[in-house]
Amino acid sequence: MDMKNIEAKLEEILELNGALATSLFDWKSGMVLGMATYSNFDIELASAGNAEVVKAKMATMDSLHLTGSIQDIMITLTDQIHIIHVLESNPELCLYVALESTKSNLALARHKLSTVAQS
- Alpha carbon dihedral 29, 76, 43, 68, in 10-degree steps, equals 30
Element spanning 35, H or E? strand 32-37
Mode of pairing for the β-strands spanning 19-26 and 32-37: antiparallel
Report the pLDDT value the prediction gives residue 75, as an integer from 0 to 100: 96
3-state secondary structure of 38: coil
pLDDT averaged per 10 residues, the chain (length 119): 80 95 95 91 94 96 94 96 95 95 94 91
Give the domain ranges of the chain.
Answer: 3-118
Report the pLDDT value the prediction gives residue 2, as an integer from 0 to 100: 61
CA distance 116 to 50: 19
How far apart are the two ends of the chain, measured CA to CA in Å?
5
Report the pLDDT value the prediction gives residue 54, as an integer from 0 to 100: 97
CA distance 47 to 21: 10
CATH number belonging to the domain at 3-118, selected among 3.40.50.720, 3.30.450.30, 3.20.20.70, 1.10.10.10:
3.30.450.30
Please report how many Cα atoms fall inside a 13 Å half-sphere around the Cα of residue 5, on the Cβ side.
11
Q: What is the pTM of this model?
A: 0.93
Report the pLDDT value the prediction gives residue 38, as an integer from 0 to 100: 83
Report the pLDDT value the prediction gives residue 1, as an integer from 0 to 100: 58
∠ CA 71-76-77, nearest 5°, is 150
- Residue 27 contacts residue 54 (beta carbons within 8 Å): yes
